[in-house]
Amino acid sequence: MTGAEVRNFVIAIVLFALAALIPLTGSGYWLSIGVSIATFMVLSTSWALFSGPTHYISLATGAFYGIGMYVVGLGIEILPYPVLLLIAAVLGAVLAALVGLATLRLSGVYFVIFTLGLAELIRQLVNWGQTTQGSSSGLYVLTDISEPMIYWQLLGLGAIVYLLGWWINRSRLGFALRIIGNDEVVAVHSGINTASAKIILFVVSGTVATVTGALLAPRLSYIESSIAFSPMLSFLVVIMALLGGAHRLWGPIIGVVPFMLVWDLVTAKFPNQTTLVLGICFLLIVYAIPHGLAGLVEKYRARARGAF
């Protein structure tokens, strides 16, 4: 490890330790914001693991997340909670692998379209399954898992995602992905199996999103398909990751924190204009900060260095 890496590690550990202290303040407001931020930190960072280097925009986060919720909702009465998390992870991985196999061998557009409809497709299937089974449309999740527990679990998952991302970046797989992102033709010609590299990363990101959904299910206590498979979630994840900068591991988090704080205000003050705000954010990111806040930071850092 180089000196800079050791320094970054220490900074990351200190930040995580500080973040872990939030529930101890006893403030319900900050804890609930903390859970939202931790949720989107995990989701956006894992999203960027795949979409950052490859530039493939995945809109499937909501689908994975909803599956995680439903696994917990359906199984909470029968199986212990950790087993459910494991089942959720496996299911998420399998689904991601199948979607990846069907679409990632082709051009990126197919992938975007497919993932765009995936959450709605699974929602329809779940609804259909529930009506043919004759059960009610919602599920109760009654556990003794408290909100601080959820928060710490999310932080733990976040730590795993960061370690995983750091390791992937250093590995041959990460290198291969960066080449694919720069020029897929070059990647193919230098002997990279582009499809399998992309599928592996998509599986990682889908698994994390599924587990996140499973972790958050106890918080809701009542799950309905329209909540679990909310289409908004996937877009929020994309926006935050791009706002922060998807090309760096630490990028998404610097997008998540400010965005969630503002978003919380917007949803409270203007609940009917959220879509409009979301649209404006999308346009701002595309036209004003195409490389995200991380890109801005790097630009100014390079300029400052150039000045000396």
Partner 1 sequence: MEIIIGGILLGGTYALIAMGLQLQYGVARIMNLANGEILVAGSFAALWLFAGAQLSPVLSLIIVAPIAFVGNWLIYQYFLLPLVKRSKNQGQLEVDSILSTFGISFIFVGVMHAIFGGEYFNYEYLEIPFQVFEEPFALNRIIAFLGAAIAAACLYFWLNQTRSGLKLRAVSVNPDAANLVAINVNRASAMAFALGGAVTAGGGALISMFVTFDASIGVLFTMKALIIVILGGVKEIRGSIVAAFVLGLAETAVASLIDPGLTLASAFLLFILILLFRPQGLFGRQTS
| Site residues, partner 1 (CB under 8 A) | 55, 57, 102-103, 106, 108-110, 112-114, 116-117, 120-121, 124-125, 127-128, 131-132, 184, 231, 235, 238, 242, 272-283, 285-287, 290
Surface-to-core class of residue 181, CB atoms within 10 Å of its CB (0-12 exposed, 13-18 middle, 19+ buried): middle
What is each CA distance from 89 to 214, 283, 298, in whole angstroms? 9, 34, 35
Nearer to partner 1, 15 or 286 (CB): 286
Contacting residues for 209 by C-beta, under 8 A, at least 6 apart: 43, 46, 47, 60, 61, 64, 65, 68, 92
Query: What number of H helices and E strands is found in the chain?
Result: 14, 2
Contacting residues for 247 by C-beta, under 8 A, at least 6 apart: 48, 52, 53, 291, 292, 294, 295
- Give the bridge partners for 138, in sequence order: 224
Nearer to partner 1, 51 or 153 (CB): 51
- If one counts every other C-beta atom within 10 angstroms of the C-beta of residue 159, the result is 15
The least CB distance from residue 92 to partner 1, in Å, is: 19
The least CB distance from residue 99 to partner 1, in Å, is: 9
Tokens describing residue 159:
């730590």
The least CB distance from residue 101 to partner 1, in Å, is: 9
Nearer to partner 1, 113 or 227 (CB): 113
Nearer to partner 1, 123 or 219 (CB): 123
The least CB distance from residue 94 to partner 1, in Å, is: 15
| DSSP element (H, E) containing 180 | helix 172-182
Nearer to partner 1, 55 or 170 (CB): 55
Asked whether 210 and 91 are in contact (CB, 8 A), the reply is yes
Tokens describing residue 285:
């990111």
Nearer to partner 1, 145 or 278 (CB): 278
The least CB distance from residue 117 to partner 1, in Å, is: 5
Asked whether 62 and 119 are in contact (CB, 8 A), the reply is yes
What is each CA distance from 201 to 14, 20, 162, 206, in whole angstroms? 28, 28, 14, 9
The least CB distance from residue 208 to partner 1, in Å, is: 22
Nearer to partner 1, 6 or 186 (CB): 186
Nearer to partner 1, 151 or 235 (CB): 235
The least CB distance from residue 134 to partner 1, in Å, is: 14
The least CB distance from residue 172 to partner 1, in Å, is: 23
Asked whether 173 and 197 are in contact (CB, 8 A), the reply is yes
